[in-house]
Structure 1
Amino acid sequence: MALTLTGLRQRVYIGGVINNTPDNLVQWIVSPQRFSPRTAMPTTGISEAEARHLAAYLNEQ
């Protein structure tokens, strides 16, 4: 089963572990292991500013 990010803004949790808020999404994008050390989400290496743009885009989908 493929996972999709469509409808992310309607989800209660990000990565199944933290409340879905704009700030939490930014922090998850920047450093997902901070919230879930065993997550499959890799460290992206992008800045917080870049993550804010990405989070805004994802919340529009």
Structure 2
Amino acid sequence: MFEKRCAGCHTVRGTRSAGVQAPDLTHVLSRRLIAAGTVANSPESLMQWVQHVQEIKPGALMPDMKLSPAEAGDLSAYLATLR
């Protein structure tokens, strides 16, 4: 899921995900804030951000990700490993 949808822009060190246009997500869950300091970081708010970027921060370069419940679950599980 991540490699198909996110890796073109985001990097996760130690993986094939080597995008340079967006923040490095290697340790995303260790951050206190996400979305350029707009949102407190929690698994729930991270998924809200991923799916509703433009609602939370209009004009952000990241598009809203139209994820199915299964995709959202897979992405959430993967992001939870990035501590």
Q: TM-score, normalised by structure 1?
A: 0.80
**TM-aligned CA deviation for residue 52 of structure 1:** 3.0
Aligned residues: percent identity?
Answer: 35
Structure showing greater Rg: 2
Higher helix share: 1
Alignment of 1:35-46 (within 5 A): 35-46=56-67
Task: Find the partner of 2:53 among 12, 16, 32.
Answer: 32
RMSD: 1.5
Greater RCO structure (CA 8 Å; 6+ sep) = 1
Stretches of structure 1 that go unaligned for 5 or more consecutive residues are none
